[in-house]
Amino acid sequence: MFCPKCAQTLRDGDRFCAHCGAAVTELQPGVTIAPATTATGTLHTQPLAHGLAAFQWKWVAIAIPVILVLQFLLGMTAVALTGGGPVSILVSSVVSFFTGGFLIAFWSPGITIREPAVGIAVAVVAANLILIKTPASIEVALIGWLLPYFLGLTGARLGEALQARRKKADRNGRNDLERAA
């Protein structure tokens, strides 16, 4: 059985998800349920087979400009402060991809790393196509292509972990209020 909100695995008999606090209804194992939209237009990801939440392209579309804008702003700041040396540009790239991955994973509903990962990959390709004007050596390619991607994923994993911790604290707060009432 899986949580209808975050698609985490639940124990038999759980009435609330221990991960996000959502109310749980009985589902048959392996049942696929499509994403549902509420009357207010809010998309809730429902569990799919094997516990995966539905992929939301909206968060990929949000991730790409967030990361590229961070890249641009931090790059311009690095140029203004240091004259644009390669180390300062590398640091601004590292910070922008890590921060962008973190923000998208923290803001996106549910616990899934897939949307930030795809958004980071597209942003890495876009940033490198914009910035690289000459053929690069293998070392430059690894630094420019792989390092930002893996740092973005690291930021996304941290964002997901903090999102889960926040949801758990919110749930525990609700449980404390229910017990007090």
- The string of pLDDT tens digits covering residues 68-111 is 899 889 888 888 888 877 778 778 888 899 999 999 988 887 76
The stretch 33-42 carries a mean pLDDT of 44
Q: Residue 129: its pLDDT value, please? A: 79
Q: Is the whole-model pTM more than 0.85?
A: no
Q: Residue 82: its pLDDT value, please? A: 86
Secondary structure (DSSP) of 95-139: HHHHHHHHHHHHHSSSS-SHHHHHHHHHHHHHHHHHH--S---HH
Q: Residue 154: its pLDDT value, please? A: 93
Q: What φ, ψ does residue 60 adopt, rounded to 5°?
A: -70, -45
The answer to whether residues 97 and 123 touch, using CB atoms and an 8 Å cutoff, is yes
The pLDDT tens digits of the residues spanning 43-58 come to 444 444 444 567 788 8
Q: Residue 173: its pLDDT value, please? A: 73
Which CA distances in Å does 65 have to 40, 118, 155?
Answer: 26, 13, 16
The answer to whether residues 163 and 105 touch, using CB atoms and an 8 Å cutoff, is yes
Which residues are within 8 A (CB) of 137 and not within 5 positions of it... i.e. 6 or more apart? Answer: none
Grouping H, G, I as helix, E, B as strand and the rest as coil, residue 14 is: coil
The answer to whether residues 29 and 11 touch, using CB atoms and an 8 Å cutoff, is no
